[in-house]
């Protein structure tokens, strides 16, 4: 212990020295490697990550209705960064800069309702390349590059409304992102047939993970809630809480059983290849019919309004969580193979267990030791249960499959184990995302934080070790081993993130790495400048009232952590320019007079002096 602290304190001094040099004088300094979290504590895991120490896992949190993604260190639960996705970000200029506007597309709404962040896979485990996230509010899916932690592509999914459940294909690699459109809608949705329920349907969607274009859509009966991929690469499976195809709450709750629908991906791909599809409206996306009786799908009846759906890390089973039934339904993938091969009579023959766990089961996570951890929304508990024993019990043996129930505070939705959505589930941590926090934190008015609770599951008993408040309903998170994520320290000049801006500068004959130039092109003015702490390349910009001005700045600093910014006073303009990055923003100079611009990122002892004037002539 003493030895470890010594290492930590030495490294902290190095760190402070390095920071001091960078912020004070702009001199490069080598940063010593930080001590990392490692040790176990008696009777469980150590959650204390000391100053200067690094966490063992990255946590990727949905930002819920904020439309962003948050990155936390686990087990400390320190918030490391926020990644703007569907939202406007005043710090980075996401939603305002030309680079991010190209990603968001024209007239993009700047709100989102994110639920499901999921990293890309290779061979059944995370590969650290991308993180994907849905936007239920505006029917979109975004991709984040994990090397720079920036959103790099967004796709609007056509012909459907409200992308909710979303999972990447796990095997052999993430070729597709599977995502559910939750709400049934009339087709065509042009006002011609709004009341005729027989014209309503929704679709399951697959997005090509590289091009981020929709690869195909499959029409289903009922609606679609959550989705999951298997570990063979053959199947995706979605829950349906509205087999009744009702519009009101009462209607959707009528049936004792709804279903999960399984999509046979090789068969769907073959149908697309054989051109056995239609298209809808202006969209060119292949649309296939997967309603009951189709060879592309299988409908497995499960009780009642199922919600979460989670594959076990051994690749054998998938568990549908009952929500309005106290049970979860365990489906065996090998039996699904048999059903599609015509070897089983009933769809229910793929069910191998239906353990009763408690009230309101929503989502299940795994420890890699054969146990499931299911959130019980109504009971405010986590039920730990053994999968093999649940199967034995279903087969008539007298065994108790419940291992433990732990109270959580309060009303949990998703839960996630460390690496638990991969074949490398390591059974150390369980994160439980509770919807209500009531008395757990200092009160902050009527809108309460969520409560993300960290539970040590390394031993036989679950132990609650940390409460973490989170703003605006995260829904879901992922816990990823830190060695999988490899980030860049500074940008490289040929990064595709700003390649279009670089190409535009080239057309203007500008060398971004050295030129400070103003180019007039009719009523358009393009301003190119560099930044090196504590200077902008231009201290004066002269334009005329009504000009459309594009300011493009290239940060020539090469020191890690020396980010500059560009804020134009009284114009609502601000953007991030990190080391070796090029950022640009376009605005109309509609106010005659002098307007100061300044660097809003503390970069140097003379950071306050890093500023200039925009002269707008009347
Ligand atoms: Cu259960 Cu949108 Cu994944 Cu919320 S969803 S809890
Ligand atoms: Cu550059 Cu502050």
What tens digit of pLDDT does each residue of 149-203 get? 999 999 999 999 999 999 999 999 999 999 999 999 999 999 999 999 999 999 9
Q: 611 CA distance to ligand 2 centroid (A)?
A: 9
Distance CA 183, CA 185 (A): 6
Quick: pLDDT tens for 361-388. 999 999 999 999 999 999 999 999 999 9
Tell me the average pLDDT across 83-96. Answer: 98
- Of the candidates 351, 305, 301, the residue with the CA atom closest to the CA atom of residue 326: 305
**CA–centroid distance, residue 469 to ligand 2 (Å):** 32
Whether the CA torsion 67, 72, 78, 82 is positive or negative: it is negative
558 within a domain of the structure (yes/no): yes
**Position 250 in a domain:** no
User: How much is the mean pLDDT over the chain?
Assistant: 94
How many whole angstroms from 288 Cα to the centroid of ligand 1?
27
- Which are the contacts of 256, defined by CB distance < 8 A and separation ≥ 6? 303, 304
Q: At 342, list the tokens.
A: 């015509």
Q: Is residue 605 part of a domain?
A: yes
Q: How far is the CA of 97 from the centre of ligand 2 (A)?
A: 18
Band (pLDDT 50/70/90 cuts) for residue 44 is confident
Distance 361 CA to ligand 1 centre (A): 12
Distance 546 CA to ligand 2 centre (A): 29
Domain-located, residue 535: yes
**What single-letter DSSP state applies at residue 273?**
H
Do 188 and 281 contact (CB within 8 A), yes or no?
yes
What the block records as the tokens of 320 is 């549908």
Q: Is 46 exposed, middle or buried (0-12, 13-18, 19+ CB in 10 A)?
A: middle
Question: Could you say which ligand is closest to the alpha carbon of residue 23?
Answer: 2
Distance of CA 491 from the midpoint of ligand 2 (Å): 17
How far is it, in rounded angstroms, from Cα 234 to Cα 263?
A: 8
Ligand 2 atom at shortest distance from the alpha carbon of 600? 2
Task: Work out the burial of residue 140: count CB atoms within 10 Å of its CB; fewer than 13 is exposed, 13-18 middle, 19 or more buried.
Answer: buried
- HSE (CB half, 13 Å, CA atoms) of 67? 20
Q: Which residue has the tokens 């020539």?
A: 556
DSSP string, 422-490: STT---SEEEEEES--TTSS---SSSPPEEEEEEE-SSSS-EEEEEEEESS----EEEEEGGG----SS
Distance CA 419, CA 583 (A): 35
Share of the chain above pLDDT 90, in %: 92
Report the pLDDT averaged over residues 580-584: 98
Most ligand 1 atoms within 8 A of CB, residue of 476, 477, 478 to mutate: 476
Ligand 1 centroid to residue 414 C-alpha, Å: 6
Whose Cα sits closest to atom 1 in ligand 2? 564
The pocket around ligand 2, CB under 6 angstroms, is made up of: 533-534, 564, 599, 601-603, 607, 610
Q: Tell me the average pLDDT across 506-532.
A: 97
Place of tokens 């890093």: 610
Cα separation of 245 and 297, whole Å? 18
Residue 113 included in any domain: no
**225 Cβ below 6 A of ligand 1:** no
Atom of ligand 1 nearest to the CA of 363: 1
CB neighbours (10 Å) of residue 86?
Answer: 28
CATH number at residue 558: 2.60.40.420
* Nearest bound ligand to the CA of residue 135: 1
Structural domain boundaries, residue 525: 496-617
Q: What is the Cα Rg of the chain in Å?
A: 27
The answer, yes or no, to whether any atom of ligand 1 lies below 6 A from the CB of 136, is: no
Query: How far apart (Å, rounded) are the C-alpha atoms in residues 74 and 47?
Result: 8
Task: Give phi and psi for 251, each to the nearest 5.
Answer: -65, -40
Which DSSP category does 157 fall into?
P
- Which atom of ligand 2 is nearest the CA belonging to 563? 1
DSSP 373-433: EEEETTTTEEEEEEHHHHHHHHTT-----EEEEEE-SS-EEEEEETTTTSTT---SEEEEE
For residue 282, is pLDDT > 90? yes
Per DSSP (E only), the strands in 92-184 are: 118-122, 125-135, 140-145, 150-156, 161-168, 176-183
Residue 602 lies inside a defined structural domain of this protein? yes
CA–CA distance, 343 with 336 (Å, rounded to integer):
10
Q: pTM value?
A: 0.93
Q: Is 29 inside a domain boundary?
A: no
Q: How far is CA 237 from CA 16, 169, 361, 418, 464, in A?
A: 51, 11, 18, 22, 32
Nearest CA to ligand 1 atom 4: 475
Residue 568 pLDDT > 70, yes or no?
A: yes
Give me the phi and psi of 299, to 5 degrees please. Answer: -105, 115
- Which of 238, 363, 378, 380 has most ligand 1 atoms within 8 Å of its beta carbon, as the pocket-test mutant? 363
Atom of ligand 2 nearest to the CA of 565: 1
Taking only the tens place, the pLDDT of each residue in 410-466 is 999 999 999 999 999 999 999 999 999 999 999 999 999 999 999 999 999 999 999
The whole-number average pLDDT for the span 203-207 is 98
Cis-peptide into 592, omega within 30 deg: no
Query: Could you please report the per-residue DSSP string of 177-211?
Result: EEEEEEE-EESS-SSS-SS-GGGEEEEEEEEETTT
pLDDT digit string, tens, across residues 548-562: 999 999 999 999 999
Residue 427 to residues 132, 424, 460, 479, 538, Cα–Cα distance (Å): 24, 9, 11, 11, 55
User: Which one of 162, 182, 307, 452 would you pick to mutate in the ligand 1 pocket, going by the greatest count of ligand atoms within 8 A of its CB?
Assistant: 307
Q: How confident is the model at residue 39 (pLDDT cuts 50, 70, 90)?
A: low
Q: For tokens 């992308």, what's the residue?
A: 163
**Residues 404, 406, 412, 418: is their CA dihedral positive or negative?**
negative
CB crowding 230-255: b at 16 or more within 10 Å, else e:
bbbbbbbbbbbbbbbbbeeeeebbeb
Give the pLDDT band of residue 1 (cuts 50, 70, 90): very low
Give the number of whichever ligand sits closest to the CA of residue 62: 1
pLDDT band at 27 (very low <50, low <70, confident <90, very high): very low
Q: Is position 543 within any domain?
A: yes
Q: How far is the CA of 376 from the centre of ligand 2 (A)?
A: 49
Per residue in 481-501, pLDDT (tens digit) is 999 999 999 999 999 999 999
Distance between Cα 475 and ligand 1 center (Å): 5
> Considering its fold, how many domains does the chain have in total?
1
Tokens of 19: 């920071």
Number of the ligand 2 atom closest to the C-alpha atom of 564: 1
One DSSP character per residue, 584-609 reads EEEEE--S-EEEEEE--S--STTGGG
For ligand 1, is residue 310 a contact (CB within 6 Å)?
Answer: no
Give the pLDDT confidence score for residue 368 in this predicted structure: 98
Q: What is the mean pLDDT of residues 9-24?
A: 39
Are the C-beta atoms of residues 426 and 57 closer than 8 Å to each other?
no
Tell whether omega for the bond before 188 is within 30 degrees of 0, i.e. cis: yes
Count of C-beta atoms within a 10 Å radius of residue 444? 11
């Amino acid at each position: 212990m003493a030895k470890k602290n010594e290492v930590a304190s030495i490294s902290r001094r190095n760190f402070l020295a390095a920071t001091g040099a960078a912020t004070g004088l702009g001199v490069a300094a080598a940063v010593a490697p930080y001590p990392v979290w490692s040790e176990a504590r008696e009777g469980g895991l150590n959650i204390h990550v000391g100053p200067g120490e690094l966490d063992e896992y990255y946590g990727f949190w949905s930002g819920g209705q904020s439309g962003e993604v948050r990155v936390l260190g686990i087990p400390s639960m320190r918030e490391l960064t926020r990644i703007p996705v569907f939202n406007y970000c005043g710090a980075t200029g996401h939603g305002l800069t030309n680079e991010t506007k190209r990603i968001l597309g024209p007239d993009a709404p700047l709100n989102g309702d994110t639920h499901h962040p999921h990293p890309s896979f290779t061979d059944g485990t995370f590969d650290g390349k991308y993180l994907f996230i849905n936007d239920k509010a505006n029917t979109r899916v975004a991709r984040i590059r994990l090397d720079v932690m920036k959103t790099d592509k967004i796709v609007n999914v056509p012909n459907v409304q409200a992308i909710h459940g979303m999972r990447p294909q796990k095997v052999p690699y993430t070729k597709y992102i599977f995502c559910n459109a939750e709400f049934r809608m009339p087709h065509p949705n042009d006002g011609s047939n709004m009341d005729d329920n027989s014209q309503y349907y929704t679709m399951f969607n697959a997005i090509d993970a590289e091009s981020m274009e929709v690869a195909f859509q499959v029409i289903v009966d009922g609606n679609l809630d959550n989705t999951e991929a298997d570990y063979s690469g053959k199947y995706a499976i979605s829950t349906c809480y509205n087999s009744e195809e009702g519009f009101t709450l009462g209607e959707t709750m009528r049936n004792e059983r709804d279903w999960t629908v399984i999509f046979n991906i090789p068969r769907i791909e073959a149908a697309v290849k054989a051109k056995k599809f239609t298209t809808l409206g202006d969209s060119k996306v292949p649309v296939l019919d997967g309603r009951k009786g189709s060879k592309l799908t299988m409908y497995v009846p499960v009780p009642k309004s199922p919600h979460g759906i989670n594959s076990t890390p051994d690749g054998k089973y998938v568990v549908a969580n009952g929500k309005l039934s106290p049970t979860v339904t365990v489906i065996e993938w090998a039996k699904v193979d048999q059903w599609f091969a015509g070897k089983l009579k009933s769809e229910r023959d793929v069910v191998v267990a239906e353990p009763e766990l408690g009230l309101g089961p929503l989502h299940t996570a795994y420890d890699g030791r054969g146990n499931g951890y299911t959130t019980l929304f109504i009971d405010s508990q986590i039920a730990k249960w053994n999968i093999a024993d649940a199967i034995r019990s279903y087969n008539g043996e007298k065994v108790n499959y419940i291992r433990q129930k732990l109270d959580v505070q309060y009303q949990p939705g998703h839960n996630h184990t460390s690496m638990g959505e991969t074949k490398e589930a390591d059974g150390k941590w369980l994160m439980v995302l509770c919807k209500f926090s009531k008395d757990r934190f200092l009160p902050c008015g009527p809108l309460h934080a969520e409560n993300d609770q960290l539970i040590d599951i390394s031993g036989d008993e679950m132990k609650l070790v940390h409460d973490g408040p989170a703003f605006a309903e995260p829904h879901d998170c992922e816990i990823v081993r830190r060695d999988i994520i490899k980030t860049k320290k500074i940008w490289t000049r040929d990064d595709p993130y700003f390649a279009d801006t670089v190409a535009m500068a080239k057309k203007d004959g500008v060398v971004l790495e050295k030129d400070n130039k103003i180019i007039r092109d009719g009523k358009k003015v393009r301003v190119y400048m560099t930044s090196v702490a504590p200077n902008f390349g231009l201290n004066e910009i002269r334009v005329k009232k009504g000009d459309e001005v594009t300011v493009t700045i290239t940060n020539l600093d090469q020191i890690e952590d020396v980010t500059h910014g560009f804020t134009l006073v009284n114009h609502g303009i601000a953007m991030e320019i990190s080391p070796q990055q090029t950022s640009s923003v376009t605005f109309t100079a509609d106010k005659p007079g002098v307007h100061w611009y300044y660097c809003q990122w503390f970069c140097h002892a003379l950071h306050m002096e890093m500023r200039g004037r925009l002269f707008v002539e009347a």
